[in-house]
Amino acid sequence: MHKLKFLVLIAVLIFSVKINGQEIKAKVSVNASRIPSTVEKKVFQTLQTSLTNFINNRKWTTDVFQSNEKIECNFVLTLTQQLETNVYQASLTVQAARPVFNSSYLSPLVNYQDNDVTFRYIEFQPMEFNETNLQGNDPTASNLTAVFAYYVYMILGFDYDSFSARGGDTYFQKAQNIVNNAPEGRGISGWKPFDGTRNRYWLMENMNNSRYSLIHDAFYSYYRNGMDKMYDDANAARRGILECLTKIDNVNTEVPNTMIVQFFFQGKADEIIKVFSKGNPTDKSRASELLQKLDVSNSARYKQELK
C-alpha cells in the first residue's frame, strides 16, 4: 500500500513538472559597455539574470512543451546611453530558431534589432508584467517587460505559424493587446504607428491585418513544406520554398515596402542560398529572380551565387 502511494506521488510530481514546462529557452545578455564607469556594473548582471528568469520561468501558453521542443532564443540588450539616474536607452537584438525535421539543424525564425527601448531599472526591482495593466506604477519601468513579453509572443506566433496553418494567431493577438495597452511616458517609443515605419506597432499590424494573410501561409510553406522536407526530398523542399517566395511576392506587389517582407528575410540569406545552390536551373533561376526583388539588401549575393 505504501509502495502504491509512493508510485502515485511520483506520477503526480512528474505530471506536474510536465504540464508546467515552459516554452522558451532564452539566453539573455545585457551589454553595458557604453554606460559610464561611475555606474555600478553589477546592476546590469542582476538585470540580465532577472530578464532571463522572467522569460524562461513564465508560462506563456496553455500548451505542453517537452524539453527538446522549447524555442531557442537570444536576446541581447545593448545599453546605448544613460538618460538620467536609473533610466536607459537601449537596442534589443532578438533571435529565434526552429528545429528542422529529421536533423539537428536550427533554421532562423526571427533575427531583428529594435533600437527604441527606453526603461528604468533599479537593482533587484521585480520583473512585473500584467497584460491588463501594462502602465503599472511606473510606465518607464513597465516598458522593459512589455517589450520583452511582446517579442516572446511574436516569436511564439511565428513558431506556431511555421508548424500549422494560421497556428500563431492567438499569440499575434496577444502581441496586439500589448501594443494597444503599451506603457506611455517620456522617451517611450516604438508602440505607435507614427513612431516610424519599422517598429513594434507595424510588425504586429502586418501579422494581424487580413490584407497580409498570405504571409502566414508563407511561413508555413517555408518551414513545413520547405525546410522540413529538405532531408527527405530536396526537390520538394525547394518547391515549398518557391511557393513561400511567390506568396510573399504577391503581398509585396499589392502593398510594396511592408515591414514584414523585410523582417521575413533577415538572417535567412545564407540558408536560402544553400538550399537553391544545388537546385535545378529552373528552380534556381526563379528563386534568384524573386529573391533579388524581395530581399534587396542581399540581391547582389543572390545574383552571383544562384547563377
Task: Return per-residue pLDDT of the chain as tens, 307 residues.
Answer: 444 433 333 333 333 333 344 899 999 999 999 998 877 889 999 999 999 999 999 999 999 888 888 999 999 999 999 999 999 999 999 999 999 999 999 999 999 999 999 999 999 999 999 888 888 789 999 999 999 999 999 999 999 999 999 999 999 999 999 999 999 998 999 999 999 999 999 999 999 999 999 999 999 999 999 999 999 999 999 999 999 999 999 999 999 999 999 999 999 999 999 999 999 999 999 999 999 999 999 999 999 999 8
Nearest to 295 by CA among 268, 276, 255, 271: 268
- What gap in Å lies between CA 275 and CA 234, rounded to an integer? 8
- What gap in Å lies between CA 52 and CA 190, rounded to an integer? 22
pLDDT at 244: 98
- What gap in Å lies between CA 84 and CA 254, rounded to an integer? 45
Return all residues near 282 (Cβ < 8 A) that are at least 6 apart: none
289 backbone dihedrals φ, ψ, rounded to 5°? -60, -50
Residue 265 lies in a domain: yes
Helix (H) / strand (E) containing 223: helix 214-223
User: Residue 86: which region, alpha, beta or left (left: phi > 0; alpha: psi -120 to 50)?
Assistant: left
Place of cell 494581424: 208
Return all residues near 20 (Cβ < 8 A) that are at least 6 apart: 59
pLDDT at 16: 35
Residue 274 lies in a domain: yes
pLDDT at 186: 87
pLDDT at 7: 39
Residue 239 lies in a domain: yes
pLDDT at 234: 96
Range of the domain at 277: 213-307
Q: Which residues pair with 29 in a beta bridge?
A: 76
pLDDT at 284: 96
Residue 162 lies in a domain: no
Residue 101 lies in a domain: no
- What gap in Å lies between CA 111 and CA 256, rounded to an integer? 21
pLDDT at 156: 98
Residue 192 lies in a domain: no
- What gap in Å lies between CA 81 and CA 100, rounded to an integer? 39
How many distinct structural domains can be found in the chain? 1
- What gap in Å lies between CA 203 and CA 180, rounded to an integer? 13
Residue 25 DSSP SS3: strand
b/e per residue, 163-198, with b = 16+ CB within 10 A? eeeebbeebbebbbebbebbbeeeebbbbeeeeeeb
DSSP code for 136? -
Tell me the torsion sign for CA atoms 79, 54, 56, 130. Answer: negative
Do 234 and 278 touch, CB atoms closer than 8 A?
A: yes
- What gap in Å lies between CA 190 and CA 161, rounded to an integer? 24
Give the total residue count for the chain.
307
Residue 231 lies in a domain: yes
Residue 301 DSSP SS3: helix
Residue 114 lies in a domain: no
Q: Which residues pair with 24 in a beta bridge?
A: 71
The whole-model pTM stands at 0.91
pLDDT at 19: 38
